[in-house]
Every structure is written in structure tokens, then in C-alpha cells.
């Protein structure tokens, strides 16, 4: 159990520190690169939850794809790379409202996670991979969801093409 | 479960460690003699000109979106591939439909010239 705990706190530290880097970094590009480590750490946490397929998908899609898209998005925007993002320019009133809203969400989430019946499982007992089970269910019980995913991807592709070509 | 990932963790620790050690070593052992040529931005040996903070073409975005769409397609293929033997022909046809739907979008984009670079 000690090894499990050490690895969990290692990945949790990576996630929290790099997420802090995303939020507190003054430069957009530094935030984007910090997000890379956040995604990586979350994928480590997925592995600890015995969700190996989700972990690999996290690395492939988020680290490999979404992050590239975010960085391209930054580069496509005029002069955003040089802009300093300063939270200090906000007024006290706006900061108060934002702080209260964040506090309310945090309290709500803490209460919710305390009251949820979490599934308790010995993390070291799980040995098999989840890919086979996902494959079996995806092509029998959840075939419709699989088809809808195809349509969703098609819509995303064509929508991006239409928006990109307009100018 | 965790033991099977131990080689991966060892590899990550060593990879990170070696990178840090080499950075510190070069910082410690390396001579620091800065000349104007050394500290300037590397631009394939040519004198750099203009700013790097330019607005990039929106075509890059289109390439990135295409990459993500087909990336997700490949993600769906992994569970399909390991279970194809037990699921049989129906799963094969389902995946062919999936690929056909995505390739319809791809060929539409290709025919409209959205991926032309000119």
C-alpha cells in the first residue's frame, strides 16, 4: 500500500503544481505548457484508478491533440503572446464576487464528495486491463453511442473547416 | 496493477533524472563566454529578422482539428481491435461505417480545397 500512496501523492503533486502554473503564469504560452503536465498527472491518477484505457486516451487525445490545438489557438490570436494577464487590474468588487463564487463551488464540491458513496475496491487486486471489456460493450450494448460519436466527430470536422475557411 | 506499471515509472524517473543531471552538469562544467552571435536567436545560421510573435495562418488550426478527429478515431480502434475475434463480422461492419463517416468529412474537405496550402 505504501508504494500506491507514494505514487498517488507524486501524481497529485504534479497535477496541483502544474495547475497552479496554468493559473498563475503571466504568459499564455507558459500556461499552455504547464497544462501539459496537468494532463499527464491526471492520466497517472487514472492509472491508479485501474482505468488504463482512459489514461492512454488522456495522453493520446489531450496531451497529443487538445494541447496542440490550444497552442495553435494562442498562436492564431493577434498579439496575445505578449499580453500580460494581470489579475491585479480587476476591481475589488469583481474580485469579491469571483472569490465568493469560487468559495461556494468549492464548499459545494467538498460537501458532495463527502456525501457520495464511493465504490471501495482494493487497488492492488485489480490485474486485468479494461480495454477488452470496453471493446466488448462498445460494439454490443453501446453501439448507438459509438455511432453518435462518429457523427459528432464529423460535425466537429466540418464545423472547424467552415469556420476556418470563412476569411 | 501497480507492479505492471513499475517499468514505466522507473523509465519516467530515469528520463527526468538524466535530463536534470545533464542540465545541471552543463551549467556547472560549461564555460560561459557570451558573444553576440551566441546569444542571438538561432535561425538556421541566418541572422534573425522580424518578430516571432506573428499571427499564424488559420490553416494550422485546420490541420490540428483534422489530427484530433483522426486521433479519436484511432482511440476507438484499440478496444475494437482486441475484441474483433470474439465480436465477429458485425463489429467489423460497425467500424467500417465509423471510418466511412469520418472519411466522408475528410474527402468533402479535400474536394473543397480546405487542406490546400497555396
Cα–Cα distance measured from residue A119 to residue A149, given in angstroms and rounded to the nearest whole number: 28
For chain A, positions 110-129, list CB contacts with chain B under 8 A.
123-127
Note whether B1 contacts A127, CB cutoff 8 Å: yes
Q: Which long-range contacts (CB under 8 A, 24 or more apart) does A40-47 make?
A: A40/A14, A41/A11, A41/A12, A41/A14, A41/A15, A42/A11, A42/A15, A44/A7, A44/A10, A44/A11, A44/A14, A45/A8, A45/A11, A45/A12, A45/A15, A47/B5
Round the average pLDDT of chain A to a whole number and report it: 83
Determine the pLDDT at residue A120. Answer: 73
Chain A positions touching B19 (Cβ under 8 A) are none
* Residues A112-117, mean pLDDT to the nearest whole number: 90
The Cα A48–Cα A137 span in angstroms is: 22
Is the pLDDT score of A116 beyond 60?
yes
Please classify residue A73 by burial: count the beta carbons closer than 10 Å to its beta carbon, then call 0-12 exposed, 13-18 middle and 19+ buried: middle
Nearest to A82 among B53, B62, B91 (CB): B53
Give me the pLDDT at residue B18, please: 97
Contacts of A11 in chain B (CB under 8 A): none
C-alpha distance from A112 to closest chain B C-alpha (Å): 29
CB pairs under 8 A between A and B: 143
The three three-digit cell numbers of residue A50, written as one number: 485501474
Q: Which of A72-86, B4-18, B86-100 has the lowest mean pLDDT?
A: A72-86
Is residue A33 predicted with pLDDT exceeding 80?
yes
Is A139's CB within 8 Å of B83's CB?
A: yes
Residue A9, pLDDT score? 92
Q: What is the pTM of this model?
A: 0.76
Measured distance CA(A151)–CA(B88) in Å, rounded: 23
User: ipTM score of the complex?
Assistant: 0.73
Give the Cα separation of B69 and A150 in Å (integer).
9
What is the residue extent of each domain of chain B? Answer: 2-28+56-112
Contacts of B109 in chain A (CB under 8 A): 157-158, 161
A8: exposed, middle or buried (C-beta count within 10 Å: 0-12, 13-18, 19+)?
Answer: middle
Looking at the complex, report in whole angstroms how far the Cα of residue B42 sits from the nearest Cα belonging to chain A. 19
Determine the Cα–Cα distance for residues A63 and A157; give it in Å rounded to an integer.
19
Q: Do A147 and B69 make contact, defined as CB atoms within 8 angstroms?
A: no
Residues 34-53, chain B: which have Cβ within 8 Å of A?
Answer: 53
**pLDDT average, residue stretch A60-81:** 79
Per-residue DSSP letter, A116: S
Beta-carbon-side half-sphere exposure of residue B84 (alpha carbons within 13 Å): 12
Amino acid at each position: 500500500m505504501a508504494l500506491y500512496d507514494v505514487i498517488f501523492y507524486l501524481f497529485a503533486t504534479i497535477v496541483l503544481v502544474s495547475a497552479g502554473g496554468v493559473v498563475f503564469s503571466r504568459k499564455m504560452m507558459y500556461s499552455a505548457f504547464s497544462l501539459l503536465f496537468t494532463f499527464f498527472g491526471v492520466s497517472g491518477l487514472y492509472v491508479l484508478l485501474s482505468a488504463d484505457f482512459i489514461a492512454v486516451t488522456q495522453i493520446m487525445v489531450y496531451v497529443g491533440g487538445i494541447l496542440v490545438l490550444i497552442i495553435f489557438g494562442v498562436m492564431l490570436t493577434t498579439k496575445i503572446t505578449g499580453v500580460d494577464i494581470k489579475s491585479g487590474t480587476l476591481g475589488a468588487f469583481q474580485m469579491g464576487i469571483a472569490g465568493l463564487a469560487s468559495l461556494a463551488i468549492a464548499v459545494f464540491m467538498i460537501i458532495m464528495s463527502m456525501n457520495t458513496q464511493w465504490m471501495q475496491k482494493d487497488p492492488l487486486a485489480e490485474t486485468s486491463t479494461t480495454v477488452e471489456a470496453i471493446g466488448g460493450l462498445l460494439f454490443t450494448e453501446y453501439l448507438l453511442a459509438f455511432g453518435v460519436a462518429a457523427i459528432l466527430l464529423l460535425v466537429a470536422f466540418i464545423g472547424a473547416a467552415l469556420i476556418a475557411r470563412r476569411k | 496493477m501497480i507492479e505492471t506499471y513499475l517499468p514505466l515509472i522507473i523509465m519516467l524517473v530515469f528520463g527526468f533524472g538524466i535530463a536534470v543531471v545533464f542540465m545541471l552538469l552543463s551549467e556547472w562544467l560549461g564555460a560561459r563566454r557570451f558573444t553576440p552571435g551566441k546569444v542571438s536567436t538561432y535561425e538556421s545560421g541566418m541572422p534573425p529578422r522580424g518578430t516571432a510573435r506573428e499571427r499564424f495562418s488559420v490553416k494550422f488550426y485546420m490541420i490540428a482539428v483534422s489530427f484530433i478527429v483522426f486521433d479519436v478515431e484511432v482511440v476507438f480502434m484499440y478496444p475494437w481491435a482486441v475484441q474483433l475475434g470474439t465480436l465477429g463480422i458485425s463489429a467489423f461492419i460497425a467500424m467500417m461505417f465509423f471510418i466511412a463517416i469520418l472519411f466522408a468529412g475528410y474527402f468533402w474537405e479535400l474536394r473543397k480545397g480546405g487542406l490546400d496550402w497555396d
